[in-house]
Structures are given as C-alpha cells and as structure tokens.
A and B are shown apart, each in its own frame.
Chain A
Amino acid sequence: MTTAVQVSKRSRRPWTPSQIVLTLLGVAVSAVFVAPIAAALFTSLKSEAEAAEIPPHWLPRTWTTQAWRALWSTGNIGNWFINSLVVSVLVTAIVLTVAALAGYGFARTEFRGKGALMGVVMSGLMISPAVLGVPLFTTVQQMGMVDTYWGMILPQCAPAAMVYILYKFFQGVPRELEEAAFIDGAGRWRVFFTIVLPLSRPSLAAVGIFTFIASWNNFLWPYMVTNNPDLMTMPNGIATVMNSYGIQWAQLMAGGLMAGLPLIVVFVFFQRQIVAGVAHTGLAGQ
C-alpha cells in the first residue's frame, strides 16, 4: 500500500493547460480504441433479433444474457477453451525449455560448426506457417499428426526468434560468474540451472509471455491442421464453426469476448510484466 500512496503523491502536480489538453486528447483516443470492444460487449447482451436490427444502436434496449447462455449450452466453446489452454501452455513450456537451452548453447559453449548452425537458425526467422504452409502441412500429415494436439503444438515450438533473444541475453551475462562455478567443480548443467537460469528470469518471463500470447491467438496453423471441431482452439472455432451460422451476431460477439477477455484480464493484473515482456522481445530484434 505504501507504493500506492507514493504514486498518488507524486502525481499531484498542477494541471497545466498543456496537460489538460493532452489528457483530454488521450481520453478521446482511448475511447476510439475501446469503442469496438465495448460495442461487442453491448451486442452480446442483446437478443439476436435486436443485434440484427436496422438501424443499429449502441446500448441494448432489453438487457439479456441469452447469447452467453446459448453459447454454453449449444457450442463446443468449453472444449475450445480447454484446447486453447492445453496448446498454449504446452507450447510455452516447450519453447521456454528448448529456446533457453539453445540460446545458452549458442552463447556460451563451443562445438564444431556452431557458426554455421547459428546462421541456419537465423534463416528460420524468415519461415512461418504462412510462408511454408502447404509443405509444412504435408510434413505433419506424413507424421500422422493431422488433427492431434501434438500436430498443433510441435510446429509452433521451433521459434528462431526466441532463441535469438535469449542468445543475446546470455551473451550479456559475465563469464566470470560461470568460471567461478566451474572452478568450484560445478558441471556445465549445474551451472546452467543454478546460476544462469535464475539470472535470466525476466528474459524468460518475457519470452514466455510473448509465446503464450502468440500461441493463444494463433489462428493460421491450428486452422490448417485441425478439422475436428472437438479439437479446435478458440480463435479457430470462432472463425470457422461459429461463423457458418450467420445472423447470430450476439453469440458471435459473446464467443469473441470469451476468447479475448482472459488475456485482457490477465493484462490488467500483470500489465507491467507483459508490457515489459512484449517490448523486450520486440526490442531484442534490433
């Protein structure tokens, strides 16, 4: 609570005219940015007939939760939610593990062909399911992983960008720390787990947060690799299954908010961490 008090004390600065203008401008621009989400929320609280009314209006005349209830009773939205969670959690866990190991390996160990391998990995920055969609699909198909969780998860688990970010971070860790531990007789793995990893928690958090957001919101790859509605993730299910019914705007908006709100709520609580994480991963690409 002390920090909160501090913050409010600090912001007790006089309202200069320029601050008033800027703040008003900020409020106006924010309203524009929030408006579509607010509109979706209001529409999800209308009846389907009211949601399709011509001309439209912002606030529901009769407030009803029918769309939200219908969403739960008819759709597979519960399934999709769990699928999204399973996929994003596993992708995040795997990416953190393999990218941290690889980043450290490239930054701090020597082996033959390291430079060449690093170059190959960097070329991976240019490859995505959007670029290589069809061949990637036939590969996964050959492995018999179409319409499985692993088919959705594993191809998202080799992000060269995350390796590069952690690689740059590990390069910045002073060698002396590790050397001291080696002298004490610690093995390479122990040094990695007990010294290097604890130091890199913020970087790992950044990579983890970014990976989770990206995976939760990923549409293209899950769309390509799953046909079974029971296996779909939220973005995919909403775009493909819910869209095929038309004229159910209230339900569609409710479903969209279901998919989007968890991250927004998390954002409100962990804003600093997420902002730092996104900015960090982005900036590291410089």
Chain B
Amino acid sequence: MREPLTGKRFLFTVPFEVTGKIRYTEQIGQGMGRPDLNRRHVLGGLGGLLVAGSLGFAALGTGADALAATGRTRVRYWNLFSGGDGSNMIAMLDAFRKEHPDIAVKDSTLQWGSPFYTKLAMAAAGNRAPELGVMHMGRVAGFSPGRLLDPWDVDLLAKYGVRESDYNPALWQRGVIDGKLYALPLDIHVQLCFYRKDVLKKAGLLGDDGRMIPVTSTTEWFDVLKKAKQAQKKGLQTIGLWTNDQNFQWWFFVAFYTQLGGQWFNDARTEVLFDTDKATQVLEFFRQHVTDGYVIPGAPTGEQFINGAPFTWEGNWSVPVFSAAKLDYGATPLPPVFGRQATHAESHSFVLPHQSGRGGATNEAAHELAAYVVRHALQWAAGGHIPAYTPTLSTAAYKKLQPQNEYVSAMDHQATEPKVWFAGSTGILAQDLGPLVVSSTMGSAKPASVAQRMRNQLVKLLASKNPMDGKTAAQGGAVA
C-alpha cells in the first residue's frame, strides 16, 4: 500500500496479505493500542442487547401458538391468500368472529404454490393438521383423499346453510371422490379475455350493449384482431397471450382443447385418449397470433394492456389491478373460436386435513366457519373470483359488479384438467406439458410434433405411480 502504515490505516491493511495469514504481532498492535475503548464498549453493549433481544424474539416466535390457546372452541385455518385476496378473506373472518364470539379462529396464511401443499401434506401425515384448510380443487385427487384428507359431513354443512343444490352440479362433483365430498368449493376462477372499450369502440368492435361483439370462429377472431390493430396505439402489441409462460399457455390450451371436445383419458384411466389432431389445431391457433404479428413475444401483458394494448388474456385476479388503474375495460370468457364455449377454470375449496381424532366441537366449528365464508362470498367477488355459492350470484349487489357480471356465465362451461393424481394447479401435469405448449407457440417446435410429444408424456404420466401411495392413476380409484 502506498499510504504509511499508521494507526487505523495500518490496522486494516493487515488482512490484505496474500498469504491470508495474519501476523500475530500486528494483531497485538491493534488489540491493545486502540484508543477509542469507549466506542467499542458501546458497540459491545449494543451488540449484546441485539443478541438478547433476538433471542427473546426467537423464543416468542415459536411460542406464539401456545399463547393463543383459550377456553373457546379453537379452529386453526390454513389458507394461501395474501394481497388483495388475503385482506378480503380476513374481512370475512372478522365478520365471522363478531357473530361467533365462542369460536376462536386462528388463521395462518401460507405462500401459494407447491410449498403450501407440501406443508399441508406433512402436517396431515404427521397428525399436526389444522381443523380447516384451503386447496385448489384440481389438487384434491392427488392428495390421497381418505388418507391426508377427511370427508365433509354433508348434513352438518346443510345445518349451516350449504347444500349441494346451491351449487353448479359439475363443480360440486369435482369435490366428490368415491362418493364422498372432500372439497367444498368456495369460488371458481377463470381465464378471461380482457378488452379495452376505448380501443374497441374506435375499431367498431363494440355492440350496442357496450360489450365486445361475439366471436364464433377463428376467422372472425383474427378479423377482430386485425381491426383492433388498426385502431390501437402504435408500438404496442394487440393481444397479451403470455406466450412464454408455461402456466398460462397450459391453461389456455386446456380451454381450447376442451372447446374442440378433446378428451384426455378413458374413464378407467387405463388409456390415453389425447387427440393429437385437435391439439395441433389448438397449437396452430396460438402460433398464428405470433406469426401474424399480434403478439410481441415476452412483452409483459398487463403492462401492455394498461398502456393501451386492446386485448389481453388473463386470470380473473387481474380485475382489481385493472380497476385500480381506472381503465375503461370489459372481460368475457375466452372466445369460443372452435364453436363451443369453454374457458379454463380452477376453484379454491375448503378441505378438512386428516386428523386422527376429528370430530366434536372443533370439527363442527370448522364446518360452521367454512359454510359461513362460502355463503358470504360477495366480498370475495371483489377479487374477481366467481362465488361458487349460486344464491350469491343472483343478489342485486353481485349483478351490479363490473365486469364480474359479464363473465359469470363462465361457471356453466368450465374447462378443467382431468381428475388424476398428477393434475392440479402448478401440478406435475402442468409442469410437464406447459413448456411443450410454449415451445410451439414461440416457434421453436412444430405444433404437430409438440402434440405428439404431449401425448407421449401423458402415456408416461398415466403409467407412473403416485409417490404418496405408490398407485398409478388406474389403481388409484380417484374417479368420480
């Protein structure tokens, strides 16, 4: 070093030796010769306090659960809602608490995605499960119903005002496995076609009711895109398709494949019925958006829409985002370009994680809480979700919600993943097939060959065993 080795300077040049060894005499120089002992003492004291405080905190953090125990009936409730959904859920829980002071609800919000299911599975397996949990319906079949989940007591639910007749029958049946109800639907959330009314009006694509004109074929659809493109701001894409996102591409694929009447497996789950011709048709449809220049691959869809792109396909959870941005927009189910309505749908549902001693007051309170939230789900609709409890849909308050009232019909033509153990939100099926769809849409593989690869993958998955019980889909009996 060029600077003279004096005082503090010297001190910190010590470690700068290439050998990495600190000569000990220099250490003594520093250890004993420093004048500012007071500052060191202060720092030391502060450090000690910090460590002590942290220790106290750490002790509390593990013990907080025990502190909450009281004489009241206690329902532990695990959910995966944060952000806007989270505050809506908490508002509903608070309302429940006010009406039922005898029930103590201890809610824990966990991170959405695979870790949530992992943790729920571990807790149920280790008999440390909460009384009530939330799950995506597509995941139920893979969750060893009967082993990791307990069935609902339908009579008890009826006592608290929730009956099968209050539901869309197809939706209710998704929660039924081997004749028992394992998942009580709270909502359905769907993929939607969002459109900007200001742009569509200029392009002459709005009907008299102020909504987008209906589209019934691919030709009509591309015609609509062409007109919109002429009317839109330059430099933006015409439609957001999440071309490089494996989840969205997979969801869109499920929607349009269902529009074509495509099947996945036979009922016994022994045979793959996947139709590669139909799949190719869907993949070519996606690809055409890119080749015709309506999509800027990889451009962020929501941002583009807010900036003036006329269309974007998104989940209904984007409703609060676009409403907050004060856009003049509408939302319809994905256009039935193959002649038949179908849009991808998934549902949040309540489940009873397995407890060996399930029953009694806590179990009843769990039923009561779930029924309450299901029946008071109007607030839930603010997050864009469609309440599963149909009486809510016919209330005047719901009918006034914009644009929710425009896409509520999606409830009646849901496109869902097959009911097998490897399906479900962010499950293995989506994880394996999603990237294949993306590769076709992005143009790095031909649609026909991708369709064949998807089929091969389905054959492989059908033969594979569920790690939770060592059974294949055919042996699993997880069929309604």
Q: Give the interface of A toward B (CB within 8 A).
A: 3, 7, 10, 48-49, 52-55, 82, 85-87, 89-90, 93, 141, 146-150, 153, 168-169, 172-174, 198-203, 206, 227-231, 240-241, 244-247, 272-273, 275-277, 279-280, 283-286
Contact = CB atoms under 8 A, between A and B. Distances in A.
- The majority secondary structure among interface residues of chain A is helix
B224 to A, nearest CB: 23
Sorted nearest first, the 7 A-B pairs with minimum C-beta distance are: A280-B15, A283-B20, A149-B58, A272-B12, A52-B303, A227-B110, A86-B54
A283 B83 contact: no
A148 B21 contact: no
Contacts of B54: 85-87, 89-90, 93
Interface stretch (B115-123, B406-414, B438-446, B457-465): B115-123
Contacts of B221: none
B270 to A, nearest CB: 32
Using C-beta atoms within 8 Å of the partner chain, give the interface range for chain B: 35 or more
B468 interface: no
Nearest to A249: B303
Contacts of B11: 202
Interface string B95-133: 000000000000011111001100100100000000000
Nearest to B233: A54
Interface string B1-44: 00100011101101111111111100110110000000000000
Contact of A199 (B19, B28, B112): B28
Contacts of B448: none
A276 to B, nearest CB: 4
A229 B110 contact: yes
Given A49-B306, A169-B22, A228-B110, A93 B30 contact: no
B82 interface: yes
B470 interface: no
Contacts of B303: 52, 54, 247
Contacts of A10: 3
B14 A276 contact: yes
B111 A247 contact: no
Given A150-B62, A173-B24, A202-B11, 18 more contacts: A52-B306, A52-B307, A54-B307, A146-B119, A146-B122, A148-B62, A172-B21, A202-B27, A227-B115, A228-B109, A229-B110, A229-B111, A231-B61, A244-B111, A244-B112, A245-B83, A247-B306, A283-B20
B18 A283 contact: yes
A227 B119 contact: yes
12 contacts: A3-B9, A7-B3, A52-B306, A149-B57, A150-B58, A168-B20, A169-B21, A199-B28, A202-B30, A227-B115, A272-B12, A285-B20
B268 interface: no
Contacts of B58: 86, 90, 149-150, 153
Contacts of B203: none
A273 B109 contact: no
A21 to B, nearest CB: 19
A127 to B, nearest CB: 22
A54 B235 contact: yes
A229 B109 contact: yes
B61 A199 contact: no
B189 to A, nearest CB: 14
B170 interface: no
Nearest to B40: A201
B24 A149 contact: no
B206 interface: no
Interface string B297-310: 00010111011000
B175 to A, nearest CB: 24
A198 B28 CA distance: 9
Contacts of B91: none
A180 to B, nearest CB: 14
Contact of B14 (A146, A149, A202, A285): A202
Contact of A89 (B3, B51, B112, B115): B51
Nearest to B61: A149
A82 B57 contact: yes
A285 B19 CA distance: 10
B50 interface: yes
A206 B15 contact: yes
Contact of B21 (A48, A52, A168, A230): A168
A172 B15 CA distance: 13
Given A227-B111, A246-B302, A148 B61 contact: yes
A228 B80 CA distance: 10
Contacts of A148: 61-62
Contacts of B9: 3
B321 interface: yes
B325 interface: yes
B428 interface: no
A3 B7 contact: yes
Contacts of A240: 111
A67 to B, nearest CB: 14
B32 to A, nearest CB: 8
B474 interface: no
Interface in B178-194: none
Most buried by A among B11, B55, B303: B303
A89 B61 CA distance: 15
A255 to B, nearest CB: 13
A10 B115 CA distance: 58
B383 to A, nearest CB: 12
B302 A284 contact: no
A276 B111 CA distance: 39
Most buried by A among B12, B300, B306: B12
A146 B62 CA distance: 10
Contacts of A227: 110-111, 115-116, 119
A241 B111 contact: yes
Interface in B44-60: 50-51, 53-55, 57-58
A6 to B, nearest CB: 9
A100 B8 CA distance: 24
Nearest to A10: B3
Contacts of B93: none
Interface in B215-248: 235-236
Contact of A172 (B12, B23, B83, B119): B23
A61 to B, nearest CB: 15
B116 A201 contact: no
B307 A53 contact: yes
Contacts of A231: 61
Nearest to B110: A227
A285 B15 CA distance: 13
A149 B22 CA distance: 36
